């Protein structure tokens, strides 16, 4: 790359297209570790899929034992597997707690490459409107971090603005970095 | 985890015992009694409402519901008032979708492409109205009902144009950033601008009340009911087990509308267009396999439209059924589409009105006709057309199965997905009406959402007759308040249209060729 080349990072651009219509995580600081804790309500909604999926799978198993309706068994079993898998895939990110560890000097979200805490330069709050094809739109907010190398990584993504601002401030204080409000007016 | 595993083993063990088989039999009896009780309750307590909305006048041998005439007259008036816009401006509507009036280099972040907009519009139009609704129309109105559905589809394009333009023009952005729009807003704000604030408020309240009932009826119970009917047909599931279908569907709906899970909504949005494509593909296969019967099928449709042979009330009977089911399917004049279209990203309300007028065409003129052809070709719908034989989704499914047995399984998959996505959409329409009446607030909204989920279970449990009567009545009742307002507000739409056309002509609104995109 030519040394004269430069690039700009649009800090007002949200990183994720989608987002939940509820509070998904809160920031908890214990000693030298700050981590994201999933809310009980969000876990419960994910569990609905696991329960419904397991019920359909059990029903399919029962029918397989007592009847010869194999088409219904396949239909129920298929739906059961799909819904259960979907539920597990929703729960997994909640169980893998993203954390900022001062002792190890690492931010680990189990998704992106680990980031050294001293490389994190600032935190930014972004906003967006989630538009649904078959439902009404709603606002959603992101807390993103910026590294010295220009990487932007999402930390929080939910629609509780007040809680997100509190958590962002808590995290900024914990990391000793600046917090910028990069919310913009969304043109409809 | 250990406790969960133990519970799972216990659950499976319990299921495999013969003692449980006996329990299941008594459970079936209980469910059957419950279904009958709920059905009876619905007949007793909603009968007056159904009777009021479908008050009829005798025309020939048939009783013509005044509400059907109301919708038909409105569509005719809008068609004439807007200068047959559905025929004269259909090219412009297609050009808007193709992006002719949008600068390709000024695409905002998050904005959907025109191809996406088109596929969204297409997928949104195919649903149980096209599958179960057409089955019900032909079972009672004979093949001739199809002709009147097509006519209603063409005329309904003008109604949809008018209401969707107003939906965008009078939408409101709430402090939270969410967009609210639809008849409640254009009736109150639009009429207030004309100095008819009191009337506007009254109409908006009336519409909101009916919208809540419509969301619980056509947008919920009808969907759940027909989803279970499809399972009964395809897999021989006893009809009294509708309560289980209802509970499973209600749980999933609950997780979306109460929890606001983005993932399931995204999955549904991605799957539904494929289901729509699957349905159209299956219809085309049936039509092409039986190409030699398409001519006679069309002949039966045209003959039946004017003779009404085998239909109670003759051709008027066929007309009534065609118009009722077409309105149920394309929702033109009902006002629900205006709620959905109001959230679109556009600076020109008229462009959304023009795009929306394509929906009744695709929904009713194209896809409903395809379903009607499949049913007519299969020949399972025979005289007398009194709805006592196969009807609704079972008639459609049986007709598809005549060509290939596997179609009933694919149709079952599509019907369940369509029912689910429609329930999600209508829950938002109902919620908007609910919050309009009772105000925004977590508790208020939660009450509606819980009521909505309860109605999913009720819909899947009760009989088809009670469901469809109540669903029809609620959806048609919405049109009473909506159309009164549209008559007052149509000059505003005409003014918007004139302004848009003048700006296009003068070059103020530029046209772009896709090649212009850098």
Is B146 inside any structural domain? yes
Q: Looking at residue B425, which CATH number applies to its domain?
A: 1.20.1740.10
The mean predicted confidence, pLDDT, of chain A is: 86
Total of domains in chain B: 1
Give me the torsion for CA of B375, B379, B380, B386, rounded to 10°.
Answer: 80
pLDDT for the residue numbered B499: 93
- Cα–Cα distance measured from residue B391 to residue B386, given in angstroms and rounded to the nearest whole number: 9
Bridge partners (DSSP) listed for residue A153:
A145
- Cα–Cα distance measured from residue B471 to residue B222, given in angstroms and rounded to the nearest whole number: 7
Residues B77-87: pLDDT tens digits? 999 999 999 99
CB contact A139 to B (< 8 Å): yes
Is B165 inside any structural domain? yes
Instruction: Answer whether residue B117 shows pLDDT above 60.
Output: no
Is B4 inside any structural domain? no
The whole-number average pLDDT for the span B115-134 is: 70
Give A5 or B206, the one with higher predicted confidence.
Answer: B206
Q: Which residues of B touch A17 (CB under 8 A)?
A: 110
Give B9 or B88, the one with higher predicted confidence.
Answer: B88
pLDDT for the residue numbered A11: 86
**What count of Cα atoms within 13 Å lies in the side-chain half-sphere of residue B361?**
15
The DSSP-derived string for B193-252 is: HTT-HHHHHHHHHHHHHHHHHHHHIIIIIHHHHHHHHHHHHHH---GGGHHHHHHHHHHH
Bridge partners (DSSP) listed for residue A122:
A146, A178
pLDDT for the residue numbered B510: 77
Q: Least CB-CB distance to A52: which of B251, B259, B262?
A: B251
Read off the pLDDT band of A4 (50, 70, 90).
low
pLDDT for the residue numbered B389: 81
Is B244 inside any structural domain? yes
Instruction: Answer whether residue B25 shows pLDDT above 70.
Output: no
Give B352 or B33, the one with higher predicted confidence.
Answer: B352
CB contact A48 to B (< 8 Å): yes
SS3 A11: coil
Read off the pLDDT band of B392 (50, 70, 90).
confident
pLDDT for the residue numbered B95: 86
Instruction: Answer whether residue B88 shows pLDDT above 80.
Output: yes
Residues B239-297: pLDDT tens digits? 778 888 999 999 988 888 876 665 566 666 677 778 888 889 999 999 999 999 999 99
Output the CA–CA distances (angstroms, integers) from residue B10 to B15, B160, B248, in the order listed: 9, 55, 21
Which residues 214-273 on chain B approach chain A with CB closer than 8 angstroms?
Answer: 234-237, 244, 248, 251-252, 254-255, 258-269, 272
Instruction: Answer whether residue B420 shows pLDDT above 50.
Output: yes
Give B36 or B183, the one with higher predicted confidence.
Answer: B183
The whole-number average pLDDT for the span B54-65 is: 83
Of A13-22, B101-110, B279-288, B399-408, which range is least confident? B101-110
Is B10 inside any structural domain? no
The mean predicted confidence, pLDDT, of chain B is: 83
Is B30 inside any structural domain? no
Which residues 417-446 on chain B approach chain A with CB closer than 8 angstroms?
Answer: 421, 424-425, 427-428, 432
Instruction: Answer whether residue B123 shows pLDDT above 70.
Output: no
pLDDT for the residue numbered B175: 65
The answer to whether residues A33 and A99 touch, using CB atoms and an 8 Å cutoff, is yes
Residue indicated by tokens 């990072």: A9
The whole-number average pLDDT for the span B35-55 is: 81
Is B13 inside any structural domain? no
In angstroms, how far is the first alpha carbon of chain A from the final one?
38
The whole-number average pLDDT for the span B461-483 is: 83
- Cα–Cα distance measured from residue B201 to residue B190, given in angstroms and rounded to the nearest whole number: 10
- Cα–Cα distance measured from residue B181 to residue B340, given in angstroms and rounded to the nearest whole number: 8
pLDDT for the residue numbered B104: 67
Residues A109-165: pLDDT tens digits? 888 888 899 999 999 999 988 876 555 667 889 999 999 988 999 999 988 889 999
- Percent of chain B past pLDDT 70, that is, above it, reads 85
Residues A41-85: pLDDT tens digits? 788 888 888 999 999 999 999 999 988 888 999 999 999 999 999
| Contact at CB, A48 and B255, closer than 8 angstroms | yes
pLDDT for the residue numbered B63: 81
Is B16 inside any structural domain? no
| Contact at CB, A86 and B180, closer than 8 angstroms | no
Whole domain around residue B467: which residue ranges? 36-108+116-506
ipTM of the modeled complex: 0.74
Instruction: Answer whether residue B115 shows pLDDT above 60.
Output: no
Q: Which residues of A touch B255 (CB under 8 A)?
A: 45, 48-49
């Amino acid at each position: 790359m030519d040394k004269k080349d430069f690039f700009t990072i649009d800090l007002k651009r949200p990183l994720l297209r989608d987002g939940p219509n509820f509070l998904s995580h809160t920031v908890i600081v214990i000693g030298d570790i700050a981590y994201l804790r999933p809310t009980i309500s969000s876990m419960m909604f994910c569990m609905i899929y696991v329960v419904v999926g397991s019920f359909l799978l059990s029903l399919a198993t029962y029918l397989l034992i007592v009847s010869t309706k194999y088409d219904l068994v396949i239909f129920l079993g298929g739906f059961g597997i799909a819904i259960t898998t979907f539920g597990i895939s929703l729960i997994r990110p909640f169980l893998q707690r993203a954390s900022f560890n001062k002792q190890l000097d690492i931010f680990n979200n189990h998704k992106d490459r680990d980031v050294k805490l001293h490389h994190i330069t600032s935190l930014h709050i972004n906003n967006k409107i989630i538009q649904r094809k078959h439902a009404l739109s709603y606002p959603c907010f992101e807390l993103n971090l910026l590294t010295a190398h220009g990487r932007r990584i999402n930390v929080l993504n939910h629609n509780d603005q007040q809680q997100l601002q509190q958590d962002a401030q808590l995290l900024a204080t914990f990391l000793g970095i600046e917090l910028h409000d990069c919310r913009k007016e969304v043109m409809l | 985890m250990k406790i969960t595993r133990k519970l799972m083993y216990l659950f499976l063990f319990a299921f495999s015992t013969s003692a449980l088989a006996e329990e299941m039999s008594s459970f079936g009896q209980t469910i059957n009694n419950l279904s009958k009780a709920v059905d009876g309750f619905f007949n007793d307590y909603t009968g007056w409402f159904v009777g009021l909305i479908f008050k009829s006048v005798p025309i020939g041998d048939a009783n013509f519901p005044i509400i059907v005439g109301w919708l038909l007259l409105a569509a005719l008036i809008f068609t004439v008032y807007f200068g047959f816009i559905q025929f004269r401006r259909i090219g412009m509507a297609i050009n808007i979708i193709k992006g002719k009036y949008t600068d390709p280099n000024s695409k905002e972040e998050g904005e959907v492409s025109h191809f996406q907009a088109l596929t969204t519009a297409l997928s949104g139009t195919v649903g149980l109205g096209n599958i179960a609704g057409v089955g019900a129309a032909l079972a009672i109105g004979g093949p001739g009902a199809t002709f009147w559905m097509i006519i209603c589809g063409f005329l309904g394009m003008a109604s949809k144009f008018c209401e969707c333009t107003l939906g965008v023009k009078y939408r409101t952005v709430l402090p939270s950033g969410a967009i609210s729009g639809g008849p409640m807003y254009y009736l109150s704000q639009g009429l207030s601008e004309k100095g008819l604030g009191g009337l506007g408020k009254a109409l908006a309240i009336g519409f909101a009340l009916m919208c809540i009932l419509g969301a619980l009826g056509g947008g919920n119970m009808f969907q759940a009911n027909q989803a279970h009917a499809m399972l009964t047909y395809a897999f021989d599931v006893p009809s009294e087990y509708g309560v289980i279908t209802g509970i499973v569907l209600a749980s999933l709906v609950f997780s979306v509308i109460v929890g606001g899970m983005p993932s399931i909504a995204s999955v549904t949005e991605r799957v539904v267009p494929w289901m729509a494509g699957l349905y159209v593909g299956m219809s085309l296969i049936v039509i092409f396999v039986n190409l030699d019967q398409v001519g006679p099928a069309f002949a039966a449709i045209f003959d039946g439209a004017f003779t009404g042979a085998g239909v109670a009330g003759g051709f008027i009977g066929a007309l009534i059924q065609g118009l009722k089911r077409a309105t149920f399917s394309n929702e033109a004049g009902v006002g629900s589409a205006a709620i959905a279209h109001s959230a679109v990203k556009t600076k020109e309300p008229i462009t959304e009105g023009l795009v929306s007028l394509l929906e009744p065409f695709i929904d009713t003129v194209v896809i409903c006709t395809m379903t009607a052809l499949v049913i007519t070709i299969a020949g399972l719908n025979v005289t007398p057309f009194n709805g006592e034989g196969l009807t609704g989704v079972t008639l459609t499914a049986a007709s598809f199965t005549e060509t290939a047995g596997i179609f009933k399984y694919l149709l079952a998959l599509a019907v369940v997905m369509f029912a689910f996505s429609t329930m999600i959409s209508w829950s938002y329409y109902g919620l908007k009406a609910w919050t309009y009446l009772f105000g925004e607030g977590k508790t208020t909204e939660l009450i509606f959402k819980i009521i909505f989920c309860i109605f999913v279970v009720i819909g899947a449990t009760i009989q088809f007759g009670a469901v469809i009567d109540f669903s029809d009545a609620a959806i048609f009742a919405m049109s009473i308040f909506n159309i009164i307002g549209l008559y007052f507000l149509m000059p505003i739409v005409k003014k918007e249209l004139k302004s848009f056309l003048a700006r296009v002509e003068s070059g103020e609104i530029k046209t772009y060729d896709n090649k212009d995109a850098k």
